Amino acid sequence: MTIPSRTGEMARRLVAQPRRFVVVESVVLTLLIGLLDVATGAELSFSIFYLLPITLVAWSMERPWALGNAVMASITWLAADQLSGSVYSNPLLPYWNASIRLGYFVLFAVLFGRLRQTLERERTLSRNDPLTGLYNRRAFEELATRDVERASRYGRPISIAFIDLDHFKETNDQFGHDAGDALLRQVALTLVASLRSTDVVARMGGDEYAIVMPETVEDHARIALEKTRAVLAQRMTEHGWPVTFSIGVVSTTGEAASLPALLAAADRLMYEAKRAGRDRMVVAQYATMRGD
């Protein structure tokens, strides 16, 4: 492991702590810096080090907490300045300096907090479909690859489903793109609500969705997805959308299978469902398909 990766891991662990720990650590760190400021006397300035606890809070918590820490850091600096014996030509100068530092600390807390929000937003956009909120293809492949490799390594069952919406284009043309977007969001909400929290659901693009179901044998996948398809059909009827669902499901247990191979198999089964008349589901074992 390289030094940068170790540093990044330490930073992630630090900010992942419970809030009360972050607050206590920031207060203790601010006070320790203040004590060090007093101990080194007036000739050495430690102002920049007060940014450490401010950074910790701004990265881990909401803005009011970061602003509160900025105020505490300014007051601590002022107290340290007074205790270290600093001499000024005007008694108001230390308060002026403290005000300037407060403005600097507040500005840093706000900007650093915005940086965190921007990075979080970019991370979300890089992994989630902006329309439905589901995982996108990139995130799905990352998570699904992990599940497939674990199933293969430990001989555990896993099922992968590929879903395509029948007549979506016609529905989109008839009701408009806003209705089409609402339909896609409704499908996403229904899939998430109908399936387990351990199942990975993603929008692969257009009107196609994929699902990875860890620890799920063929029969259990069939039952769960038939129930899901029934709920989807009910939602379409409620909204007056003439859309049905063609689903291909491939299952395997402990075989040396890659995610691309399993996805391709599920895709083939989905097209079999379409050729058989749409609005149906085709399920098969991966071993059987490999033997074709």
| pLDDT for residue 274 is more than 90 | yes
Comparing 239 with 26, the larger pLDDT belongs to: 239
Is residue 3 very low, low, confident or very high in pLDDT (cuts 50, 70, 90)? very low
User: CB–CB of 164/270 below 8 Å?
Assistant: yes
pLDDT of residue 17: 63
Smallest CA-to-CA distance from 288 within 250, 240, 254 is with 250
Regarding pTM above 0.75, the answer is no
Model confidence band, residue 56 (pLDDT cutoffs 50, 70, 90):
confident
Predicted local distance difference test score (pLDDT) of residue 2:
42
pLDDT at residue 15 in the model: 54
Rounded Cα distance, 134 and 209, in Å: 9
Q: What is the pLDDT of residue 4?
A: 41
* pLDDT score recorded for residue 244: 96
Check pLDDT > 80 for residue 292.
no
pLDDT score of 1: 39
Can you give the pLDDT at residue 36?
Answer: 85
Residue percentage of the chain with pLDDT more than 90: 49
What does the pLDDT read at residue 83? 84
Active-site annotation, residues: 207
CA atoms within 13 A on the CB side of 29: 17
Please determine, for residue 9, whether its predicted confidence score (pLDDT) is greater than 70.
Answer: no
Please say if the pLDDT value at position 228 is more than 90. Answer: yes
Q: What is the pLDDT of residue 225?
A: 96
Task: Return the pLDDT at 16.
Answer: 58
Comparison of pLDDT for 231 and 58, the residue scoring more: 231
Q: What percent of the chain has pLDDT over 70?
A: 90
What domains are there in the chain, each with its CATH number?
Answer: 3-127 (no CATH), 137-290 (3.30.70.270)
Average pLDDT over residues 247-273: 92
CA dist 136 and 201 (Å) reads: 9
The stretch 189-202 carries a mean pLDDT of 95
Residue 143 has pLDDT above 80, yes or no: yes
